[in-house]
Chains A and B, each alone.
Chain A
Amino acid sequence: MIAQSFNYEAPNTLSEAISLLQKYGDEAKILSGGHSLIPMMKLRFATPECLIDINGIPGLSHIREEGGVLKIGALTREAEVEHSDLLKKHFPIFADVTKLIADPQVRNRGTLGGNLAHGDAANDHPAVMLALNATVIATGPDGERAIPIDEFFFGFYMTALQPDEILTEIQIPIPGGRTGSAYHKLERKVGDYATAGVAVQLTLDDSGNCSAIGIGLTNVNPTPLRAVRSEAALLGKPITDASIAEAAQYAAEDCSPSSDLRGSEEYKRAMVAVLVKRMIHKAMERAGR
């Protein structure tokens, strides 16, 4: 399969890349890892006039802690996220999720920024970023803009990014206290997209009450979904078997999966409930109860 012809640009600076985006408008696509975009171009689902390869632009690939905030450059590869000691320390959820994304070769290319910018509810990082309350940094002609993750995903392959903006960084608040996070997805085979996936991060205060909670769902809704009612069922009180069951039931009710080869709607809702329970338990264990 061969893509439709296109121009290829490989700028060396962010401002050059943004000028190219302004020049081509909607007809340009940013090329990061290319592991969602190139397959779509080969199938001719995507037919951009111009590809702007940002891999040669310095300063877009890093994982660092600054003032209580974790900053991950958009071009950071999945394989780097998978093996980062800093992430292992604060966010075991990243080791959970990256291991389940595609396979080692794909993870050598795919980037965190691309995974979010693609705007696909089947991708795994969106739900994780919802659970972690991330902020997306977009850079455009007027400089940087911070987009809260809850305002980032719009619809099928649609995000808050404007045609002349580049996703440059992801920022995640580093939670204090007893915090645990976990992700799991049900998949038919290695490398498959999720039948259903659930990301949880929770914090317990000294008296054992849940003082912060984030729950994100993968591939069971047209957009990546925050399980709002489930979070409310847990926040501000001790986490009990009853409240976990309630949270699981709300998530299963509030998502909107479609029946497909991966399973029926009913089955997917049931799996969401199971995974919400398991991920809350795992996050609590990691928080040290």
Chain B
Amino acid sequence: MLKQITVTVNGTQHTAEVEPRLLLVHLIREVLNLTGTHIGCDTSSCGACTILLDGKSVKSCTLLAVQANGKSVTTIEGMIQDGQLHPLQEGFKENHALHCGFCTPGMILRATELLANNPNPTEEEIRWGISGNLCRCTGYNNIVKAIQYAGAKMRGEEPASTEPQFV
């Protein structure tokens, strides 16, 4: 039995008829063609599929599309504003916080909520904060720096030097 749902994605309202078993990540990627949200594990473990649902970071491989009915979703495509990279996007770029980039959209959406709740997190708080996001490339150090960079920018402070850290 199909269900009609209305979801606001990155500020645009979409209406779709979906099977209740359709996963939210499949709605985003296959119905709305927003392929920036990735599927890494499909088992709620890796965080690549992280999006914001009404401002809260969630794993879209473990939600049904019908659960997003009437709610608002932000994906990586919604982070850029007026052609300007979001401070987190800029931070990842400046700090070499991505190699293959597969984990990056999920990391950035997760970090968005982290900084919204805690604008000036300690390194430990950042590491706990991204503990649901796996990265197979970077070793995380530059991801932590990128989030610190974005936090500083968003607080209106000068971000620390972006010399990459090789470990």
Cα distance, A85 to B66, chains bound together (Å):
33
* A161-173 vs B, Cβ < 8 Å mask (1 yes, 0 no): 0000000000000
**A51 touches B (CB below 8 Å):** yes
Instruction: Provide the residues of chain B in CB contact with A5, threshold 8 Å.
Output: 19-21
Instruction: Provide the residues of chain A in CB contact with B58, threshold 8 Å.
Output: 105, 108-109
A2 touches B47 (CB 8 A): no
A103 touches B67 (CB 8 A): no
Cα distance, A39 to B20, chains bound together (Å):
15
A105 touches B64 (CB 8 A): no
**Which residue, of B1, B56, B67, B133, has the highest number of chain A Cβ atoms within 10 A?**
B67
* B58-72 vs A, Cβ < 8 Å mask (1 yes, 0 no): 110011101101000
Query: B18: shortest Cβ distance to chain A, in Å?
Result: 10
Contacting residues of chain A (187-202) with chain B, CB-CB under 8 angstroms: 190-191
Interface size class of B (residues with CB under 8 A): 20 to 34
- Closest Cβ neighbor of A108 among chain B residues: B56
Cα distance, A289 to B59, chains bound together (Å):
43
**A90 touches B (CB below 8 Å):** no
The 8 Å CB contact of B63, one of A4, A38, A99, is: A38
Interface size class of A (residues with CB under 8 A): 20 to 34
B132 touches A8 (CB 8 A): no
**B155 touches A (CB below 8 Å):** no
Instruction: Provide the residues of chain A in CB contact with B44, threshold 8 Å.
Output: 35, 39, 106
Query: A56: shortest Cβ distance to chain B, in Å?
Result: 9
**A102 touches B (CB below 8 Å):** yes
Cα distance, A70 to B157, chains bound together (Å):
42
The 8 Å CB contact of A6, one of B20, B56, B63, is: B20
Cα distance, A105 to B42, chains bound together (Å):
14
**B12 touches A (CB below 8 Å):** no
**B128 touches A (CB below 8 Å):** yes
**B57 touches A (CB below 8 Å):** yes
Cα distance, A190 to B64, chains bound together (Å):
25
Instruction: Provide the residues of chain A in CB contact with B64, threshold 8 Å.
Output: 8, 34, 38, 51
- Closest Cβ neighbor of B18 among chain A residues: A8
Contacting residues of chain A (93-135) with chain B, CB-CB under 8 angstroms: 99, 102-106, 108-109
Contacting residues of chain A (1-44) with chain B, CB-CB under 8 angstroms: 1-8, 10, 31, 34-35, 38-39, 41-42
A191 touches B67 (CB 8 A): no
B62 touches A39 (CB 8 A): yes
Cα distance, A7 to B19, chains bound together (Å):
9
* B79-102 vs A, Cβ < 8 Å mask (1 yes, 0 no): 000000000000000000000000
If A104-B131, A105-B59 touch, does A51 touch B47 (CB 8 Å cutoff)?
Answer: no
Cα distance, A146 to B56, chains bound together (Å):
33
B50 touches A105 (CB 8 A): yes
B132 touches A34 (CB 8 A): no
Cα distance, A270 to B128, chains bound together (Å):
28
Give 25 A-B contacts (CB < 8 Å), ordered by A residue.
A1-B43, A3-B21, A4-B21, A6-B20, A8-B1, A8-B3, A8-B20, A10-B66, A34-B63, A51-B20, A51-B64, A53-B66, A53-B67, A99-B128, A103-B47, A104-B57, A104-B110, A104-B131, A105-B47, A105-B57, A105-B110, A106-B59, A109-B63, A190-B132, A191-B131
Additional pairs, 11, CB under 8 Å, beyond known A31-B67, A38-B62, A104-B114: A6-B20, A8-B66, A10-B69, A79-B56, A104-B129, A105-B50, A106-B59, A106-B62, A108-B56, A109-B63, A190-B132
Q: A residues bordering B, Cβ < 8 Å? A: 1-8, 10, 31, 34-35, 38-39, 41-42, 51, 53, 55, 79, 99, 102-106, 108-109, 190-191
8 smallest beta-carbon distances between A and B, as pairs: A103-B132, A8-B20, A190-B131, A3-B21, A108-B56, A105-B132, A105-B59, A103-B131
